[in-house]
Amino acid sequence: MDHSDVSRWFGEYLDVFAACGRGETDTASLLAYYGVPLLLTTDDGLFALTSDDQVVAAAQQQVDGMRAADYHRSEVLHAEVTVLNSTSALYRGAFSRRRSDGGEISRLTVTYLVTDGPVGRRISALAVHSP
């Protein structure tokens, strides 16, 4: 696993995530990027999502909110990749979610644990930072 490869892969994930947010593709398409199980941590708690259905349901909540806000794209404000070993890396990104008119919906910072396993590269943990 190397720095540029993780960044490139993550860019592909962001494209699919944005397409889901715009309603152009089904939320289940994110299973090509999210591992199962998936650890999700936010100010609301720690969630261990242990099935495809649970992962899709959690992503769907996010996607529904984005669609309601007229989401169009996520702008990467800052990104940093830390390779941990040959099978894992951390991707920390600060993002601005934008509407189709260019206005900002929100900003967030997220750290992702990206792993290479038997089914390929996946996000195994996702930690949303406090504002």
Beta carbons of 41 and 58 less than 8 angstroms apart: no
| Alpha carbon separation from 46 to 38, 49, 68 (Å, rounded) | 11, 10, 25
Amino acid identity for residue 82 in this structure: T
Beta carbons of 80 and 50 less than 8 angstroms apart: no
How is residue 130 written in tokens?
A: 């406090």
Is the pLDDT at 72 greater than 80, yes or no?
yes
Is the pLDDT at 68 greater than 80, yes or no?
yes
Instruction: Answer whether the bond into residue 131 is a cis peptide, omega within 30°.
Output: no
Q: Which residue has the tokens 């404000």?
A: 77
Is the pLDDT at 131 greater than 90, yes or no?
no
Beta carbons of 58 and 47 less than 8 angstroms apart: yes
Please give the model's pTM, rounded to 2 decimal places: 0.94
